[in-house]
Amino acid sequence: MKCVIRRAQPKDAKDIAKMEATIGKELHDMYVIDPKLKDFAQLCLNDPNFNETPEIRKKLIQKSKKDEFRVDEISYVAVVNNKVIGMVEASVRKSKASVVKRMGGFHTLYIHKQFRGRGYGTQLMEKMMNWFRSREVEYVGLGVDVPNKSAIKMYSKLGFKLGGYQMKIKLQ
């Protein structure tokens, strides 16, 4: 099936919000496998970021979130047969303290389950990497959950390497 990668538009808000909700459920299911991570799994399921409404998503697409360090932000969607089947979101940040002046960061990459393994995630990542290059970004970072082996494999194939650890704690 032919996949079109294009910039997200306000009309995509409903589909993207549904994907965000699915991400929370899939993360929950992934973490429940490991009993040590069960509390974190429940946090993922209850996180309001994973229960985003189409209205909130539409506003985010229409107006990039900016702060004093964020320079640019964008979302792309993957479309097959006029249906949004995947998305990627990323931003460029500037740093006054770092040697690296412009750092790219992936926030979300998601492909509907039934469309995985067909290269659509790679297409979204490559589109975003070209976007980073057009903004003179030197380094790009992303976070991936340890149990997400297929994502780790894809990121490794794209040239990403382990650069540190992100650790989590549940505060009482």
Residue 163 covered by a domain: no
Return the ∠ at Cα 168 (arms to 167 and 169), rounded to 5°: 135
CATH at 64? 3.40.630.30
Q: Is residue 38 in a domain?
A: yes
Given a cut of 90, whether residue 48 has pLDDT beyond it is no
172 lies in some domain: no
pLDDT class of 71 with cuts at 50, 70, 90: low
Please say if the pLDDT value at position 121 is more than 60: yes
Within a domain: 119? yes
pLDDT given for residue 57 in this prediction = 54
The answer as to whether 95 is a domain residue is: yes
Per the structure, the count of domains in the chain is 1
Domain presence at residue 169: no
Supply angle C-alpha 150, 155, 159, rounded to 5: 145
- When comparing pLDDT for 149 and 20, which is higher? 149
Please tell me the predicted confidence (pLDDT) of residue 58: 59
Establish if 170 belongs to a structural domain.
no
> Span 59-88, mean pLDDT?
76
HSE (side-chain half, CA atoms, 13 Å) at 77? 22
Q: For the residues 91-99, what does the mean pLDDT come to?
A: 76
pLDDT at residue 29 tops 90: no
Residue 56 lies in a domain: yes
Predicted TM-score of the model (pTM)? 0.74
Query: What per-residue confidence (pLDDT) applies to 84?
Result: 94
Which positions ≥6 away from 120 have C-beta within 8 Å? 3, 78, 80, 85, 86, 111
| DSSP category for residue 37 | G
Of 99 and 32, more confident: 99
Range of the domain at 115: 3-157
pLDDT value, residue 65: 47
